[in-house]
A and B are shown apart, each in its own frame.
Chain A
Amino acid sequence: MDLLVFVLLLILTGIAAGLLGSLTGLGGAVVVIPVLIVGFGATFPVAAGAGLITILATSSTTGSAYVRDQLTDLRIGMFFEIATVPGAILGATATVLLTHANLNAALSVALGIVLLGILPGSVRRRHEELPEGVVPDRRSKSLGLYGEYRDPVTGRSVRYEAADTNSALGVMFGAGVISGMFGIGAGIFKVLALDHYLRLPMKVSTSTSNFMMGVTAAAGAGVLLAAGYVNPFVAAPAAMGTALGAYVGSRVLPGLTNRSVRLIVVPVVAALAIETILRGLGLP
């Protein structure tokens, strides 16, 4: 395939990835990696390296908009990076050192099951615009894990606070491991941890997930760069397209209701969970 055509197709793929990633908090690597492998015959390491760069582009693009609008919770995002960063370093190391196929397959199945296990809670709250009955734990109170944003949909200020930080810390560490291992942002886990355990409004969950993902990706980047997994000719067009798609998404998200965002996120997460299980089982 001619390189110019390849670059243009990758930019288009990136636009789709950035748009979806910015709205759902999933980063976008979940789109770029399969397209590279199935559509362009790239090896998994090259696709994972490009996925990593895609995440960084989505995170910085959406971060610059959502942080400015205070839709991203800086305090919560930066606190939970203490769990995702060591997880990502561990995961990236495992990718390079461990090549046991059964381990990856078993992990994929386990992850898919965990995701499917968390999903029903999110589905049950599909009519809920804002979390109700949130009881902050001691850590949440002592660290001030609460915030406020102005919702352009209602024109009102929305206050929120974080609940179960212990469970969220565990899921965030797992998200870091997955991020490092598979070259994805593991935004699925971050969004669900922020939504399901911390009980943040959905828009805050997706924007904070995207914000955190940049740091998680940067943590795994050292290992993947040194191992030669990042091919800039693949990563560059993907990053350029992703930034454009994420920019469009970052203009759209604030105008959506939390319910609408959940309606976008849940089916995508369900599809990814099933795909992860099937891949782990070696089924098409």
Chain B
Amino acid sequence: MTDPEPVSPGAAEPDVRLPLAAYRRMAFVLRSGLVASLLLLAGGIAEYFAHHPGATAQAILATNPIAGYLSLSGLARGIGRGSSEALLTLGVLVLVATPIVRVVSGFYYFQRGGERTMATITLLVFVLLLFGLLVFGPFVK
């Protein structure tokens, strides 16, 4: 069977500047982050059930269990003692960090391909993300 002609709505040329490896690497970044996060979240839930068999949804909805673990030291201490809340917090943080790592990965490929405009835009997005997470978030709080 012969390969059919591309269906084109216009006169576009195929995108040859982003290598296939860029697509594969970014897909890998997203998949790895997701799997790590889901394992941590499932582990945190299982750990909580093991120690709080009679817990109710109402009690959970009324608390803010993440508050004590948003600092690096608090999170490290919580993980060290096997706290379910700390595991869940780490799972949430990994999930948040995953698209940010993807942005860094995009910057790397645009930079390597000599695409200065796209690399600059991606870098700016990364800086804004860090600003929102590390500066603006705690400041607004």
Q: Do A147 and B15 touch (CB < 8 A)?
A: yes
Residue of A4, A5, A68, A228 near B49 (CB, 8 A) is A4
Residue of B at shortest CB range from A222?
A: B137
CA distance A133 to B9 in the complex (A): 7
Most buried by A among B17, B48, B137: B137
Indicate if A158 sits at the interface (CB-CB under 8 A): yes
Indicate if A25 sits at the interface (CB-CB under 8 A): no
User: How near does chain A come to B120, taking the closest CB pair, in angstroms?
Assistant: 10
User: How near does chain A come to B56, taking the closest CB pair, in angstroms?
Assistant: 6
Q: Do B117 and A78 touch (CB < 8 A)?
A: no
CA distance A65 to B33 in the complex (A): 14
Looking at chain B's contact residues, the main secondary structure is helix
Chain A residues positioned under 8 Å from B38 (CB to CB): 57, 239-240, 243
Residue of A59, A67, A143, A240 near B41 (CB, 8 A) is A240
Q: Do B67 and A228 touch (CB < 8 A)?
A: yes
CA distance A2 to B60 in the complex (A): 10
User: How near does chain A come to B95, taking the closest CB pair, in angstroms?
Assistant: 5
Given A144-B17, A148-B15, are A218 and B99 neighbors across the interface (CB < 8 Å)? yes
Q: Do A56 and B98 touch (CB < 8 A)?
A: yes
Indicate if B141 sits at the interface (CB-CB under 8 A): yes
Q: Do A57 and B67 touch (CB < 8 A)?
A: no
Chain B residues positioned under 8 Å from A151 (CB to CB): 7
Given A60-B34, A85-B128, A240-B42, are A232 and B66 neighbors across the interface (CB < 8 Å)? yes
Q: Do A78 and B121 touch (CB < 8 A)?
A: yes
Indicate if B72 sits at the interface (CB-CB under 8 A): no
Q: Do A85 and B138 touch (CB < 8 A)?
A: no
Chain B residues positioned under 8 Å from A67 (CB to CB): 23, 26-27, 30
User: How near does chain A come to B113, taking the closest CB pair, in angstroms?
Assistant: 11
Indicate if A61 sits at the interface (CB-CB under 8 A): yes
Q: Do B30 and A222 touch (CB < 8 A)?
A: no
Indicate if B92 sits at the interface (CB-CB under 8 A): yes
User: How near does chain B come to A254, taking the closest CB pair, in angstroms?
Assistant: 14
Chain A residues positioned under 8 Å from B14 (CB to CB): 147-148, 157, 159
Chain A residues positioned under 8 Å from B30 (CB to CB): 59-61, 63-64, 67, 214
Indicate if A12 sits at the interface (CB-CB under 8 A): no
Q: Do A143 and B85 touch (CB < 8 A)?
A: no
Interface string of A211-231 (1 = CB under 8 A from B): 000110111111111111011
Chain A residues positioned under 8 Å from B95 (CB to CB): 53, 56-57, 60, 239
Residue of B44, B128, B132 near A232 (CB, 8 A) is B44
Q: Do B102 and A235 touch (CB < 8 A)?
A: no
Q: Do B129 and A218 touch (CB < 8 A)?
A: yes
Q: Do B7 and A130 touch (CB < 8 A)?
A: yes
Indicate if A160 sits at the interface (CB-CB under 8 A): yes
* A:134-177 near B, CB below 8 Å: 134-136, 142-144, 146-148, 151, 154-161
Going nearest first, the 9 A-B pairs with the smallest beta carbon separation are A222-B137, A214-B99, A232-B88, A222-B133, A6-B57, A146-B12, A64-B31, A68-B27, A226-B141
15 example contacts (A-B, Cβ-Cβ < 8 A) are as follows: A60-B31, A60-B95, A75-B118, A78-B106, A78-B121, A89-B128, A96-B140, A136-B10, A159-B10, A221-B133, A228-B67, A232-B44, A233-B48, A235-B41, A236-B91
